[in-house]
Amino acid sequence: MSEQVKAVKGMNDILPPESARWEWFEHTVRALMRRYGYLGIRTPIVEPTPLFVRGLGEVTDIVEKEMYSFVDKLNGDPLTLRPEGTAGVVRAVVEHSMLYEGPKRLYYMGPMYRHERPQKGRYRQFHQVGVEALGFPGPDVDAEVILMVRSLFRDLGLADVRLELNSLGQPEERKAHRAALIAHFEASIEVLDDEAKRRLHSNPLRILDTKNPAMQALVEAAPKLMDFLGETSLAHLRGVQAALDAVGQPYSINTRLVRGMDYYNLTVFEWVTDRLGAQGTVCGGGRYDGLVEQLGGKPAPGIGWGLGVERVLALLEESGVTPPAVAPDVYAVVPDVAAVAVATATVEALRQAGVSVLMHAATKDGQGSFKSQFKKADASGARFALVFGADELAAGEVTVKSLRDAQASQQRQPLASVAAWGSSLLASSTNA
Ligand code: ATP
Ligand code: MG
C-alpha cells in the first residue's frame, strides 16, 4: 500500500451522519432567508489579494497574519482564499452595478480560510453564513438583520445566546476619541507597561484589552467612545434599541465591543454564548457605510453579519438539539437476482412519485440471503420493506411489510399500483 494522503491541518472532512446535521442547518437557513426576502449570492472562493487589503484594512488580524495568499503561477497575480464574505459580495455588487436597480438584501453560505492556530471552534477552513443589506441607511434594517439571527436560533431550537450591541460612531468621532485616549494615557505614562507604551500611538484602543492588574484603574477611567458620539450617531443607536425593545429582544450595550475589520461604523453587534468556552462568539456584524465607496462603487450604506457554522453546530450539540432523523421511506428487499430488473423499475416509479427508497444492492459477497437483507432493511430505519421474491414476481406483485408497526400484517400489492401506494404513503405522512 502507498502512503496515505491526509487532509490539511485545521481543515475538516464532514462525514455522515454529521453531514445530515449540516444539511438540516443549511435547509433551515435557506427557509429563514426566504422569510426575510434575502436572495442568494455566490462569489468565488479565490479573490485578488488587494480586495481584502483594501476592504478589511492593513492593520487587522486577518490581513496581517491570517490570509492564505499565493501567486498565480501563470500570470503572477496575487490571490487569496477568501477569509470572510463581505469584501467579495461588495466587490460583486459594485462590479455588476447591482445597486443601480435599488437596494439589495443578499445572503451567502460557504467556506472561509484563515491561517489560525486550530482548536475547538477555530479552524483554518471554516464555514460562514452571512447577510449583507446594501443601500439602506436607517436603523430599521440594522434591527432587521440582528433579528434574523434571533429567528435562526429559534428555528434551530437554540437558547442561551445573548446579544451585545455597541456603536462605533463615525470616523471623525473615533478620531476625537483616539486623541483623548492617547492624552489620557500620556498623562499617566508611568503606569503604562512596555507593551502599552508601544501601542500608545499605533493602536491605543488595544491598550483597553490589557490584562495587567496595575493598569486596570487607568483603563477603567479611560474616555469612552460612547461619550464622543454626536447626536446623529446616538439617534441611530436609539433607533436600533427601540426596534429591539419593540420585539422584546434583550441586549447589553458593550462599550468595549469593536470589530476586527476597519470598515465598520455605527452599529456593531455580536451574538455570544457562554457554552463554547473561549470561542463563544457565534455571530458578529455591523454597519459598513464606507466600504462600497472604498471598493470603487458609488457611495452606498451597508450592514451585515457573519455567523460561524461550526460554532452554531457545536452549540446545537452542546445543547442536545438533534436534527430530525433521516431514513428512507422504503427498503427494497431483493433476495433473487432474477427480480432485480422488476425491482429496479418499481423503485424508480416510487422515487418518481417522491418516495425515498433504498434498494438492496449486491456486495462482493453477492446478493445476500433474505434474512440478511431484512436485517439491513430494519437497520436502515425505513418504515416499510418491499419484498421482491420469486413468488411475488410470478404473481406480478410485491409484498409490503411495515417495519415500524409489529401489529400490521403484511400485504401483497400489484406491481402496477405500487406507485399509487407510495403516493398515499406520502400524503398520510404529511398529514401526521
Ligand atoms: P474571533 O474573535 O473568534 O477570531 P472574528 O472576529 O475573527 O472571531 P469574524 O471575522 O467576525 O470573527 O467572523 C464571524 C464569525 O465567524 C465569528 O463570530 C465566528 O463564529 C466565526 N469564525 C471566525 N473565525 C473562525 C475560525 N477560524 N474557525 C471557526 N469559526 C470562525
Ligand atoms: Mg479572528
Which residues pair with residue 48 across a beta bridge? 79
* Protein residue whose Cα sits closest to atom 29 of ligand 1: 122
**Domain layout of the chain by residue ranges:** 18-169+229-318, 330-430
For the stretch 227-283, pLDDT in tens is 999 999 999 999 999 999 999 999 999 988 887 677 789 999 999 999 999 899 999
Q: In the numeric block, which cell numbers belong to residue 122?
A: 477555530
Mutate to test the pocket of ligand 1, among 281, 288, 305 (most ligand atoms within 8 A of CB): 281
Ligand 1 first shell, C-beta below 6 A: 84, 114, 116, 121-123, 126, 128, 260, 279, 281-284, 306, 308, 310-311
Task: Kindly give the number of the ligand 1 atom that is closest to the alpha carbon of 121.
Answer: 29
- Percent over 70 (pLDDT), the chain: 98
- Separation in Å, CA 154 to CA 28, 110, 344: 11, 22, 42
- Separation in Å, CA 356 to CA 273, 329, 370, 415, 426: 38, 5, 21, 17, 10
For residue 389, the CA-to-ligand 1 centroid distance in Å is 56
For residue 62, the CA-to-ligand 2 centroid distance in Å is 7
pTM of full prediction above 0.85 = yes
pLDDT of 59 higher than 80? no
Amino acid code (one letter) for 259? R
By the 10 Å C-beta count (0-12 exposed, 13-18 middle, 19+ buried), 396 is classed as exposed
How would residue 430 be classed by pLDDT, with cut points 50, 70 and 90?
A: low
Ligand whose nearest atom lies closest to the CA of 83: 1
Q: Are both 18-169+229-318 and 330-430 of the same fold? A: no
330-430: CATH class: alpha beta
Give 109's DSSP letter.
E
pLDDT value at residue 432: 42
For the stretch 67-87, pLDDT in tens is 999 999 999 999 999 999 999
pLDDT value at residue 431: 46
Pick among 3.30.930.10, 3.90.1150.10, 3.40.50.720, 3.40.630.30: CATH of 18-169+229-318: 3.30.930.10
* Sign of the C-alpha dihedral computed for residues 92, 148, 267 and 166 taken in this order: negative
pLDDT of 191 higher than 90? yes
Nearest to 218 by CA among 230, 228, 210, 229: 210
For the stretch 205-224, pLDDT in tens is 878 878 889 999 999 999 99
